[in-house]
Structure 1
């Protein structure tokens, strides 16, 4: 039996030479065939190596109505360079056997020669095509949906030589290439798939890296605790990177071999381990290392993505599917289908491959150009570099601070952005070290130009510096450059004591209320000073009119008391009228001066109460009794408490509770807040960012407006200087004498009474002379009448209680409600004293108590006068006036002198 016809694989053996013909040369078949074979091989190689292999487009399979197989128009290329094409959508309604009588194609056979077995294969017959061997698809050995459609290029050569013993007529060899549509079982199709391993497949084996995020909790209070969080995250990221880069050469050696001449991962891993070790022993500036590792993670993932996007195959396996393409399973057309493997020359594959090479090189540059900022020169420069946020790839952002080495053999600036390097615009990349890297003039001063294209601002060079230096620099830069973000300083500590950065003053509405009450206290003091002056002038006038004894001494005392009060009040007012709250708080002497002014005002009333009377609550009374001075202290407490709470809010632990979105980004988004974190040594140890503006709600302290106090015009009125009690009795004596003389002329039979009474009055006058009794006091008076004694004792008790209540009000220690109740009780006591004096006077008249000198009645009159002089309420004074007048009018002739005596003591006229 003759050998079976074998399928021809054109590229199985490439023709590397062909004959060049000469003139008059006799050509042989080998010479002619070499030319045809060479150009056929080159054409096929051009398809496979420069275009790609697999299903290019179309050729989609499905089961059509009636149990037919439908294949859409399309084309594909086999790895032997055969172009398989179906010019139009085609229906197949029958099949015929495709067995071992067909040319031998090794992919349709299983086992080892010579014991190979052919797979069950059936050829589809087009609808309407005549073929005696065709059968309906319904008669297939298995259900139609259990088959896979295979498009096959049947290529073979057939020798048609006819030879005999006498003659051999050479007809030559015929090469035949016939496309056929076949069915194979789904279980056999996997062996025919012939997948080619592309860079995409290799890239999918590379790990996807995630930069571990430090979980910043509210319990952080120390630099060590914060650094520990970042060191843990850095260690995790570093370990993941080490594992990843170790896989790069294993999976895609063609890439690393091209760029580095071998496996670069050992050097990379050594560098990463060394850097982590340095931070393990000294965590200063560890956020820079964390940012650097994030850069490497992003670059690695970008490299992986670029490789995944690169589905091209360079030099595919020519034996992968040399004569056939799988078009898909009939029950699931997307499966068991030969893909298309483009060459690096076609589509975007070339671009993706170039980008992947660039990113691999960039990874190498980043690993070899990182340097700890602590070892860099110019580390004290705090620089704001505009760029893009993490919403875009690392290649589109500004180059960070910590890339400083220049001995890597690559230009960092040229290795940063694929697109910019390809376009030749990489010198325009903004960077912390723009000048050192060779950036353009515009990139070296990016804040001088338009910044609308930038949505992020890198802020670097501040870690390890004093917080005041950093904040002053950033605030000045924001102001000078009109930068669209805010900056905040937060303390990493458990208490507010070490807070270094706070507003000079957190001026707010409490300060305005404080100003209002300072103006009120100032007004009261000015009014009290004016009243004190008026009081002293009234005393001086009374002294000039000789209304009281020792007039020169009393006038001098009044002037001195006013001077003392005016001086103390002036010291207080100097603090109260300060232009700023902080100036007021800086004066720690005003409180003692205010106390001195209160003592002086109280002495003023006490010293001159025997010669003066006021018709209303005076400015001195208001000064003594109001609580506004205490309100200033209370407002200070509220302001200090508000400041304390504001300080507590800038402790990192508390700040996190209020702003849980705090995140480290090595800069700040446009419109956001850059948060500088410093420790108890005022050293900046970290930074974070909020995506919104957050600043302390505190106004700058400005000069406060002047609130001019208005002093009433009547301030000098209502003060009356009276003769003292002992001098009033002289007037009483004169008045009584005139009355008695009238009575003597009318009633001669009463002259004995007048004589006795006149003697009594003389004795009373003598008793109350200046040289005898100046202050009868409130000692116990025994009048010989038990009821009168009781009435006088009651008056004494109420008068004493009245003094006590007024002192309570003047102390300023009462609350608002208590003070109102006490004032109400004062008025009640004044009414009761007025009525008590009337009752006691009536008793003296009824009992006929003698007012002669040395008699108890004289002391009783003085004691009633002392009680009545304490009454300030107009209603109570009128009550006493009406009661005494009623007694005087109704008493028997000669007995009304008691009522007149008491009235004259306190200056009551009727």
Structure 2
């Protein structure tokens, strides 16, 4: 009968409009039928698709019968072939296509292909055939080497031909009989031509891959680093070759977009020139550019894959047959019942047949819902597809473009070509000379990482903006369709947009971005880049970290960082503060000794000690400070030890108490040895830190270093600079935070603790002169010795008067010990004892501080206060009187005429100590608060003397 859609012409695309009483002719009726038939077939092939829609799988069961699952298919001539029920065949016969003479069943010599027709002997009126179980033995082949064919035998049958005496023609019968045929896979070559050549363009070109930048951890020069990028740029020739081939493959689709004809020669010329930039330290951007080209090319290739989409399928592909694949092993869940008489469609599928044989619930469920056949596909060595079967000998479904309208294949292909064209035409790297400073050139642009298509990322800054051929117009296909090209983020977005979120994206929501492009820093000085980047990160609260590493392995050129090592700092401060306290105490004692020996011939070298002490302070720089000089510090400490030794040498004739004096701590100090150890540890730690900031070493300690032109959210942006000129020449990225925790911008500073306030014990000089020497000598001449088992207070006036318990005083009255043999010694030391043991006076001969009367009043107030019971009105009044006198003394001693004279220190400190001691006896809470203020003023006066000395 031929293919219906092949016979479309002017005649059968028109039909007659019927009118009343009209005489109808066969042509008029046939024209109408043909028109409706053609429209029906065109709807299937052009609006739905062609091929196997579902099911129609063929298999062999244990008894060597063949089964075919229910399913449906559409031929390229628009015929709908289907089985509503699973089929089982037990016989076969040689197929001879005597009626339709289907040309696809002929080989190149016009000889019929050897095929077998399957039959079911259980059907009423079925033509007997041979038992299927004998096919393998008869042919010497295996059933599983055969391919099934669903064939619609379509021809016209004219049973009544005119004779010489009778021409009673009752019309021609259109026969459409559905058959299942078998053909050996070795004989199917001609039929395979009926399978559409899908995605031919896609498979005619290959993917493009760029080598990775491999940096050797042993590199020591920028030349070696640059070579790592250049080694990856060998992809240039492959880029040129594959772009050229891609254009030739797609020429019919894209040639109208290029007014000057084939653009590949211009591309080649530009690429050759652009890749020359790889020899400079802007070479990393050439690598980025090459990587962009590979992404864009691969997306171009993907646009050629139509996902089984077939536009206007050729009628001659498979007009009356579909290949249903190789015979598979199969099993039946239950026997297939005979519920239809034969294989003809559609009349032979009529439901009345079912009425003669009741259908069980199980059978009904299998007829209406699922197949009764389970196929064993074996090991799936072919690509996965939606019907889980090998497509080598099987037509699958080739859908109409309307069902795949999200894939605008040709338009997307054209767009991808234009994007590559605009990228190559726009490539230009801005250099440091193009900007006035790094603050002008440096930008951070939010973007997405390389796991998304290139069009969804921000446009890199090495693509210049050209209004006549804008890169942003051809960057993103969806943005182009929706006229949103001016909303794409880029370094030059301010040249084509005035939208705030596009021009200043860091001021808007950035949570949707997982990558940040950092651009415009190459060629500037390291310090400027670091300062600008840190400022930008801080001001915009960006989730990224930066590190700087040096290319060369030169320790001395690595700039110091604000490293802070708490364990070394604490240990060093502990040693120094202890040593400084001893120096201050010794200096205070020296001053007391000078005053105590004014009348003696001995000269205490206090000035030498003060000079040495100040020298220690001047050179006691923190070990981590660049100004620290261990040689000068050692010399200063040695000098203070010598000065302390000289002081002790001048006090040998004095009788000392059993306690060690501050000079002894200085003489026995191991501060130099400990400082030497700390300095050595610090220097070794510093060397290790700097060694880790060399690019090769940094890579060893931080795996995963890659060049990406920016940094991932939460990652580390690694700035690479050269040793000699500190110029930034490259950048890398770590996908995680690499933070040097030893870098502390504002480390803690050691400060001495403030003096305590009441009710704590007031500060008393550590080494007052009265504690340096014995207050009571072992032997005295003509001196009453009073046994004092309990001493309440020592009142030093013109004589030693020790207040003791009255009972004890009475028991020793009249006791007089006279010692002989020590007269000479006592006489020699009488002047010393006269000076040292003279009671501390607040009004000394020749130095009247003017507080004698006030001090006597204070003591009287204290005696009265102590004699009264706590909490009584009298006691509270006495406490207020004491505070009043204490304030008078404190105010007078705070006079600058007194505090500016450091020789008053001993008298002033002693008076203030007595003031604070009495305040400590106050019990009333409100009066204690007033006393705290007075103590604070006294501490200020005491500290002032300490600083001035």
Task: Provide the TM-score with structure 2 as the length reference.
Answer: 0.67
Greater share of residues in helix: 1
Distance in 1, Cα, partners of 2:112 & 2:198: 35
User: 1:415 pairs with 454, 467, 474, which one?
Assistant: 474
User: 1:529 pairs with 587, 591, 615, which one?
Assistant: 587
User: 1:510 pairs with 565, 568, 571, which one?
Assistant: 568
Matched, 1:656 2:653: no
Distance in 2, Cα, partners of 1:394 & 1:67: 56
Distance in 2, Cα, partners of 1:369 & 1:215: 28
Asked if the contact 2:113/2:187 (under 8 Å) is kept, the reply is no
SS in 1 for 2:751: coil
SS in 2 for 1:373: coil
Q: How does 1:865-876 map to 2 (within 5 A)?
A: none
Distance in 2, Cα, partners of 1:271 & 1:25: 76
Partner residue in 1 for 2:452: 392
Distance in 1, Cα, partners of 2:637 & 2:406: 89
Asked if the contact 1:526/1:711 (under 8 Å) is kept, the reply is no
Q: How does 1:663-678 map to 2 (within 5 A)?
A: 663-678=706-721
Which of 126-135 and 219-228 deviates more? 126-135
Partner residue in 1 for 2:254: 256
SS in 1 for 2:699: helix
Partner residue in 2 for 1:137: 132
User: 2:530 pairs with 453, 471, 474, which one?
Assistant: 471
Distance 1:399 1:183, change over 3 A: same
Partner residue in 2 for 1:128: 123
Partner residue in 2 for 1:691: 735
Q: How does 1:779-858 map to 2 (within 5 A)?
A: none
SS in 2 for 1:176: strand
Partner residue in 1 for 2:938: none
CA drift at 1:659:
0.8
Distance in 2, Cα, partners of 1:584 & 1:50: 85
Which of 1 and 2 has greater Rg?
1
Distance in 1, Cα, partners of 2:266 & 2:170: 68
Matched, 1:602 2:645: yes
SS in 2 for 1:91: strand
SS in 1 for 2:41: helix
Partner residue in 2 for 1:883: none
CA drift at 1:642:
2.1
Asked if the contact 1:153/1:324 (under 8 Å) is kept, the reply is yes
Partner residue in 2 for 1:73: 70
User: 2:516 pairs with 432, 457, 462, which one?
Assistant: 457
Partner residue in 2 for 1:371: 428
Matched, 1:566 2:610: yes
SS in 1 for 2:431: helix
CA drift at 1:225:
0.9
Distance in 1, Cα, partners of 2:754 & 2:262: 86
Distance 1:474 1:517, change over 3 A: same
Distance 1:85 1:505, change over 3 A: closer
What do residues 216-262 of structure 1 show as CA deviations (whole Å, max 9, x unaligned)?
221122211111110110222x2332232233234444443465476
Partner residue in 1 for 2:104: 107
Distance 1:506 1:474, change over 3 A: same
Partner residue in 2 for 1:274: 273
Partner residue in 2 for 1:885: none
Distance 1:274 1:50, change over 3 A: farther
Distance in 2, Cα, partners of 1:604 & 1:503: 44
Distance 1:672 1:510, change over 3 A: same
Partner residue in 1 for 2:539: 480
Distance 1:144 1:571, change over 3 A: closer
Distance in 2, Cα, partners of 1:342 & 1:326: 17
CA drift at 1:173:
4.5
Q: How does 1:760-771 map to 2 (within 5 A)?
A: none
Task: Provide the TM-score with structure 1 as the length reference.
Answer: 0.69
Distance in 2, Cα, partners of 1:504 & 1:132: 99
Distance in 2, Cα, partners of 1:392 & 1:622: 71
Matched, 1:51 2:97: no
RMSD: 3.7
Distance 1:252 1:171, change over 3 A: farther
Asked if the contact 1:151/1:327 (under 8 Å) is kept, the reply is yes
SS in 2 for 1:695: coil
Matched, 1:15 2:14: no
Distance in 2, Cα, partners of 1:199 & 1:99: 32
Distance in 2, Cα, partners of 1:518 & 1:363: 68
Distance 1:377 1:567, change over 3 A: closer
CA drift at 1:196:
4.2
SS in 2 for 1:266: helix
CA drift at 1:483:
1.1
User: 1:705 pairs with 737, 741, 751, which one?
Assistant: 751
Asked if the contact 2:16/2:32 (under 8 Å) is kept, the reply is no
Distance 1:126 1:199, change over 3 A: same
Partner residue in 1 for 2:368: none
What do residues 472-517 of structure 1 show as CA deviations (whole Å, max 9, x unaligned)?
11111121111111111111111122224x4345353312222222
Unaligned 5+ residue runs, structure 2? 329-376, 378-388, 756-763, 776-823, 829-949
Distance 1:361 1:376, change over 3 A: farther
Distance 1:38 1:517, change over 3 A: same
What do residues 289-323 of structure 1 show as CA deviations (whole Å, max 9, x unaligned)?
21222222222223333433532122433322222
Distance in 1, Cα, partners of 2:611 & 2:125: 132
Asked if the contact 2:146/2:185 (under 8 Å) is kept, the reply is yes
CA drift at 1:611:
7.2
Matched, 1:682 2:726: yes
SS in 2 for 1:585: coil
Asked if the contact 2:72/2:82 (under 8 Å) is kept, the reply is yes
Distance 1:34 1:712, change over 3 A: same
Asked if the contact 1:231/1:283 (under 8 Å) is kept, the reply is no
Partner residue in 2 for 1:325: 322
Distance 1:634 1:249, change over 3 A: same
Distance 1:564 1:271, change over 3 A: same
SS in 2 for 1:110: coil
User: 2:302 pairs with 279, 299, 305, which one?
Assistant: 305
Distance 1:528 1:708, change over 3 A: farther
Which of 649-658 and 703-712 deviates more? 703-712
Distance in 1, Cα, partners of 2:446 & 2:323: 54
Asked if the contact 2:562/2:743 (under 8 Å) is kept, the reply is no
Partner residue in 1 for 2:177: 178
CA drift at 1:195:
4.6
Distance in 1, Cα, partners of 2:73 & 2:728: 65
Which of 471-480 and 613-622 deviates more? 613-622
Asked if the contact 2:306/2:407 (under 8 Å) is kept, the reply is no
Partner residue in 2 for 1:83: 80
Asked if the contact 1:16/1:38 (under 8 Å) is kept, the reply is no
Asked if the contact 1:124/1:183 (under 8 Å) is kept, the reply is no
Distance 1:533 1:106, change over 3 A: same
Which of 261-270 and 389-398 deviates more? 261-270
Distance in 2, Cα, partners of 1:86 & 1:80: 18
CA drift at 1:463:
1.2
Partner residue in 1 for 2:243: 245
SS in 1 for 2:445: strand
SS in 2 for 1:57: strand
Distance in 2, Cα, partners of 1:489 & 1:251: 47
Matched, 1:346 2:403: yes
Distance in 1, Cα, partners of 2:122 & 2:150: 17
User: 1:624 pairs with 661, 667, 672, which one?
Assistant: 667
CA drift at 1:340:
2.1
Distance in 1, Cα, partners of 2:263 & 2:179: 49
Asked if the contact 1:138/1:144 (under 8 Å) is kept, the reply is no
Partner residue in 2 for 1:448: 507
